[in-house]
Amino acid sequence: MDIHSHQFIAFFEPEQAAQLAAKAIVETYPDLVVIFEEGEVPDYLYLVLEGKVLFRKHTINDHYQIVAQANPDDFFGEFGILDGKPRSAQAMVCEGATLARIPRNVLIEILNNTKGSTVLHLFNFIIQRLRVTTQEFVQQVTYKDKMVLLGEMVNTIIHDFKSPLSSIHLSSGMLREMYLEDEDTTEWCDLIQEQAVRMTAMAEELLEFSKGSASLKKQPMDLAAALRRFEKLNRIYLDQENVAFTLHCPESIMVEADENKLMRVLQNLIVNAVEALDGDGGEITMTAQPLPNWVRITIQDNGPGIPLEIRDSFFEAFVTYGKKRGTGLGTAIAKSIIDTHQGQIRFETQEGEGTTFIIQLPLQTS
């Protein structure tokens, strides 16, 4: 977008707006460039013209938690400019961004010469935005608490479920053995066993989800080797489902990851893609590509695309669509695993064309 139509500039009278636009320094930044670090002394206000900026706060062990993001027409860094206090989070470019930065002294001078009503208008806007952010934060915190509680409940229920389930499995197996010559009985027993296995799998999926990140075991992992193992394990399944699978991964990409969990993510996404392709003979391509500090893994299918109805709530638990037996947990588990690896996951989808999942994981640092 053009700087003159940015909402921040539009707050000012034409003369000041022109001054601000003239003094602003417009620059395009590549992916993952850090605009400022947490704790830095603020010197500029930034207007987002294109792309996206993520705000991350340092947590423990060199890990970061994403706390907010800014999109075109948003601005950021105003608090530090107004009160001079250090930056409260790191700002990092995501997907490349064009920003206009306005030096602190220029802005303060123009603000000093601006009508009170304009300043008030601007303040109102900033306060409004602060309220929304605070509300979102509070919602996130209470949601997390609720999920922890739900997780504990699910945990106990599922544990209690598992032993009667295995009894059902065992007894139907014995019945089957006793009446081997009776076709009806063996058929019914097979059905019972099949369903018991399915319920156990579902219970395990729920358990996995409720456990969340508690059991993450990160280790240095050779990505190409892991992806080849993954392909091998899925070869028969993919052939049976009539899906052509291609893997592109350069050698010697090292990531710090819990291999089992990461395989779980890929498995969930591949199964979804296969289910979406529905035996029509589709294609799935998995690609890994190293970036400066990250590796990007994409999983692309040429299926029907993700239904519009669930695109906004896609990664939430229990969101399922168009499946008789969906649990709606596959992608929620995938997201929680990627999040605990300090990575990112998102998708691009087009109706009738297909879907691509894009995962970014931090590269091993040492």
Ligand X SMILES: Nc1ncnc2c1ncn2[C@@H]1O[C@H](COP(=O)(O)OP(=O)(O)O)[C@@H](O)[C@H]1O
> Looking at 91-99, 157-165, 303-311, 326-334, which segment touches Mg ion (CB under 5 A)?
326-334
> Looking at 21-29, 175-183, 295-303, 323-331, which segment touches Mg ion (CB under 5 A)?
323-331
State both tokens at 185: 């009985």
Residue 205 contact among Mg ion, ligand X, none, beta carbon within 5 to 8 Å by kind: none
Among 195, 328, 340, 348, binds ligand X (CB under 6 A): 328
CB of 359: closest distance to Mg ion in angstroms? 16
CB of 320: closest distance to Mg ion in angstroms? 7
Among 51, 77, 303, 362, binds ligand X (CB under 6 A): 303
> Looking at 30-38, 72-80, 105-113, 328-336, which segment touches ligand X (CB under 6 A)?
328-336
First to last CA, the chain: 40
Contact flags string 219-258 toward ligand X, x per CB under 6 A: ----------------------------------------
C-alpha distance from residue 317 to each of 18, 81, 325 (Å): 48, 40, 15
**Residue 330 touching Mg ion (CB under 5 A):** yes
Counting residues that bind ligand X (by CB under 6 A) gives 24
CA 256, CA 219: separation in Å to the nearest integer?
5
The residue (of 68 and 238) whose beta carbon lies closer to ligand X is 238
- State the greatest distance between any 2 C-alpha atoms of the chain, in Å, as a whole number: 96
**CA of residue 99 relative to chain centroid, distance:** 24
CA 107, CA 366: separation in Å to the nearest integer?
42
The residue (of 249 and 317) whose beta carbon lies closer to Mg ion is 317
State both tokens at 320: 């399922």
The residue (of 8 and 315) whose beta carbon lies closer to ligand X is 315
CB of 198: closest distance to ligand X in angstroms? 12
Residue with tokens 């539009």: 10
**Residue 303 touching Mg ion (CB under 5 A):** no
**Residue 272 touching ligand X (CB under 6 A):** yes
CB of 144: closest distance to Mg ion in angstroms? 23
The residue (of 35 and 286) whose beta carbon lies closer to ligand X is 286
| Residue 330 near residue 268, CB atoms below 8 Å | yes
The one-character DSSP state at 257 is E
CB of 272: closest distance to Mg ion in angstroms? 4
Vertex 365, ends 359 and 366: CA angle to 5°?
A: 145
> Looking at 25-33, 157-165, 250-258, 325-333, which segment touches ligand X (CB under 6 A)?
325-333
Count Cβ atoms within 10 A of the Cβ of residue 152 and give its class: 0-12 exposed, 13-18 middle, 19 or more buried.
exposed
Please state the length of the chain: 366
Contact flags string 59-78 toward ligand X, x per CB under 6 A: --------------------
Helix (H), strand (E) counts: the chain = 9, 13
CA 47, CA 71: separation in Å to the nearest integer?
9
* Interface of this chain with Mg ion, residues 246 to 275, rule: CB under 5 A: 272
**Residue 301 touching ligand X (CB under 6 A):** yes
**Residue 336 touching ligand X (CB under 6 A):** no
Count Cβ atoms within 10 A of the Cβ of residue 255 and give its class: 0-12 exposed, 13-18 middle, 19 or more buried.
buried
Q: Which helix (H) or strand (E) holds 173?
A: helix 116-178
Q: Which helix (H) or strand (E) holds 286?
A: strand 283-290
Side by side, which strands form the sheet with 294-301? 244-248, 283-290, 294-301, 354-362, 344-350
Residue 355 contact among ligand X, Mg ion, none, beta carbon within 5 to 8 Å by kind: ligand X
C-alpha distance from residue 236 to each of 46, 262, 284 (Å): 52, 20, 15
**Residue 205 touching ligand X (CB under 6 A):** no
**Residue 311 touching ligand X (CB under 6 A):** no
**Residue 279 touching ligand X (CB under 6 A):** no
The residue (of 216 and 310) whose beta carbon lies closer to Mg ion is 310
Residues that bind ligand X (CB under 6 A): 268, 272-273, 276, 301, 303-307, 310, 319-323, 326-332, 355
Residues that bind Mg ion (CB under 5 A): 272, 330
